Structures are given as C-alpha cells and as structure tokens.
Structure 1
Amino acid sequence: MGDPADLVALSGGHTVGRAHCGFFADRMRRQDDTFSRKLAVNCSLEPNRVQNLDVITPDAFDNAYYMALTNKQGVFTSDMALIKDRTTARIVRRFAQDKAAFFAQFAKSMAKLSQVPRSDRNVGEIRRSCFRTNGQSLVAAGAASA
C-alpha cells in the first residue's frame, strides 16, 4: 500500500467521520486562522463535543471533504498534510473536482487494504469498536488463536 493515491483515497473516509475535540486540540493551538478559531469556538461549547471531519456535507459520502481541504479546512493535522504535500495535493485537488475519480480510487484502495496480510506477531489489533482498543485480554486471545 505504498501508493499515495491509496492514502489520499482512504483518508476520504473522513467524509462521514466525527472526532471528539480532544483529538485535534493541538491543531487549534498551532494554527492561527479563521477555520481553527471556528473549531475552537465549537469545541469550547461543551467538553465532550464532537466535530464533523467533513465540514461541508458531514452526513454524505461524497468528495466534499477534499473540497474543504483545498480551502484549508481540514480538522486533523494529517488531513492538512495531504494538501500541503505536493504529491498528495494533486490527488486531493483531482478528487475535489471529480467525485467519480474519488469513488473509483476509494473502492480500489479498500480492496487493496482488505488484502493486507495480518501480522503473525502480537502487534496491533483489529478493533471491535473504532473508538477504543479491545483490551489486553482480547489482543492476547486474538494472537493465541491466529
């Protein structure tokens, strides 16, 4: 999975993602721009608040996430890195302009990701919930049964 198009396409999953404000508080402190100030205001309203990662169409799986990135409206530092790097920025701009190109690459990249072999070592885990680790006992049990 060394193709930059895979990284950019799979990051497009953020088009329907949300994150608790604590996961990107460092971005708000490091950036002095209008978007970061909007994030800071949203996150100051209540401590457990979540932020849509796609600030244009948060409930639709589309290419608006990439449109937002071209306007420097990426929530995570990793999102913004996609538009700052010359190689990935070209892909971001293409996906922002061509939803079909994003959809095609996303499908291809997901298929490639599904073929990545699982490590034989006790490294990492396949989470049962994206929001938390499985816990040591489940990780050890998974490694023992592999």
Structure 2
Amino acid sequence: MAMQVGRRFALVVVFLMAVRFGEAAQLRPNFYQSSCANVETIVRQAVAKKVSQTFVTIPATLRLFFHDCFVEGCDASVMIFSRKADAEKDAPDNMSLAGDGFDTVIKAKQAVEAQCPGVVSCADILAIAARDVVVLSGGPNFAVELGRRDGLISKASRVAGRLPGPEFNLNLLSSLFRINNLTTYDMITLSGAHSVGFSHCSRFAKRLYSFSSSSQVDPSLNLAYARLLMRACPRNVDATIAVNMDPFTPTIFDNVYYRNLVNGEGLFTSDQVLHTNLLSRPIVRKFAANQTIFFKAFAESMVKLGRVGVKTGKQGEIRRDCTAFN
C-alpha cells in the first residue's frame, strides 16, 4: 500500500511538472508575429518615454515583474486594482511597490491597445517592459518569450510567504526560488537587479541599530558603509526616506552590486549573505570580476523567471484594462 501511494505521489509530481513545462514551452519570442508584429517596439517606446520622465521607472518596473511572477506566476495578477483593497497589490509585502512600475505597464498597454486591440496580454507587456528597463539602464538585451495570458486570481491573502524578505538567509532564499523552478544560481544572478533598486530605511534599520544583543551593528557590514547609512537613515527617520541599493552607480545596471558585496556593502542581510555564505561566495566573486559573465547569466535567468506559473492557450484571459478583470 505504501509503495502504491508513493508511486501515485511520484506520478502526480511528474504530471504537474509536465504541465508546467508544457505551459512554458508554448511561449516563444515571435508569438505576436502575425497578430501584433510591432508590439515590442510599441512597448519600448512607451517605456523609454516613462524613463525619460523619472528614473524610478527602471527599478519599479523590474521589481514589479519579480513580485508578479512569484505570486500566481507571471500573469499580471499584481496589476489588479480592488476597491476593497484585497487584491495582490494590497498585501503588506507589495505595499512598497512604486507606482511608476504600474503606470509604465498601464501606459504601454494603452499604446498597444491603440494598434492591436484585445491581442496582447498585460503579462506579456510587463515581461517586455522588465527587459526594456534593464536595457535602457545599460544592462543586457535578450529575447523575451511571449504568449502568456492574464490571470483571473488576485488576492492579498495569497502573497504572504511567497516573496523573499530582506532578512532571509541563503537557505530560505534558495528554497523560495526552488519552489518557482529556479536554482540557487538563478537566485544569486537575479539578485543583481538590486544594481538599480532602492529601499526604505525601515527595511534594513535593524542591521544598524539593533542587530543582536552583542552587536548593535551587523558585523558583516563595512563600518564606513554603516556610518553612511546611519547618516541617511537616523533612528525614527521619516518612513518615506529611501536609499539606493548600490551607492556608487545607482542609475546604471552593472556588476558593481557584486563588488559591493565583496566589500561588505550589501544593503540587506539577504544581499550580504550571498558573499558571507561560502556556498554562494564563488558566484558573487565571479560576477564581481566579470560583468560579461554576469550579463549573460542575468539574461538567461530572466527568461527562466518569465516562465514561472504562466497561463497559456485557453487559460486566463487577455485583459482590456490591466487593472481590472474583463
């Protein structure tokens, strides 16, 4: 009996993996070739215009893509607006998502709808926009796989525990990424998105003022960097104050993020642990020493991220408005 149950469980796991792989396999870069051939040009123009208005567009859009894919899969469920404030975007872990990311996708969708009504999903537009902000800030270009459909579920209650936190250790980070069919190598690579990110002081204040009973300041922090952060984020600082994840080249997508980790200048515990942990340290140092290798890895991991939990074929829908179900 136990063996039969074990076989059934194994078959279910294999089936679910096959379904997941099958959905991702339906994605392809030329998905809209006959229905909206200029979709990427349209989105790129909308994104570039938004970036010219505010740089926040870049980290905001990239972070929006990550948060969307890790909850319900890459299906634009994070875009839904609820008058009851109970949609995915209303969850505590998503409250810090900058409005410029949402606005970028909304404006790009409007531009696409003007030329190809009812054809391109918001999920695909978000995926294209995430690639475009990387390129526009100096990062690698890569082909975006398309063919996603928009999800029909967006609930705040389903967010908790699905997104990485600033205090996560390597095991927690790796486990969360593994659930999404992403490796530890992917996790270390995708953390490079913090090259152009920013954070509110409250997200890392514990590292500066109350790390442990034996040390007020996190000993893994470079002391000069810790003092810099204390000046920017004094105790009881205004909740709206934020600092750059990379203090040296905050507007350029590059490998300086990894050089910072080598020097003890990672903003979050979940950043610095990538170098303090001996298992991940060699990858961090490899990326810190060679930007070309990092760029290649980042492009590949972004494509993998874009396959997480996708809806294709007859699943989901093509929203007319990214903020509302049809």
User: What is the SS of the residue equivalent to 2:190?
Assistant: helix
Distance in 1 of aligned mates of 2:272 and 2:184:
15
The residue type paired with residue 14 of structure 1 is: H
Distance in 1 of aligned mates of 2:207 and 2:188:
20
1:38 corresponds to which residue?
228
What is the TM-score of this pair, normalised by structure 1? 0.76
What is the TM-score of this pair, normalised by structure 2? 0.35
2:309 corresponds to which residue?
117
2:281 corresponds to which residue?
89
Q: Runs ≥4 in structure 1, deviation > 6 angstroms?
A: none
Gaps of 5+ in 1: 120-137
1:6 corresponds to which residue?
186
Displacement of 1:37: 2.3
1:124 corresponds to which residue?
none
Q: Which moved more, 1:2-11 or 1:75-84?
A: 2-11
Q: How does 1:15-34 map to 2 (within 5 A)?
A: 15-29=195-209, 30=211, 31-32=218-219, 33-34=223-224
CA contact (8 A) 1:4 1:87 kept: no
Q: How many residues end up aligned between the 2 structures?
A: 123
CA-atom RMSD, angstroms?
Answer: 2.1
CA contact (8 A) 2:188 2:284 kept: yes
**1:90-142 deviation per Cα after TM superposition (whole angstroms, max 9, x unaligned):** 111000000011100000001001111159xxxxxxxxxxxxxxxxxx8xx87
The residue type paired with residue 106 of structure 1 is: F
Structure exhibiting the larger radius of gyration computed from Cα positions: 2
The residue type paired with residue 266 of structure 2 is: G
1:80 corresponds to which residue?
272
Q: Which moved more, 1:21-30 or 1:101-110?
A: 21-30
1:135 corresponds to which residue?
none
Distance in 2 of aligned mates of 1:87 and 1:9:
14
CA contact (8 A) 1:55 1:65 kept: no
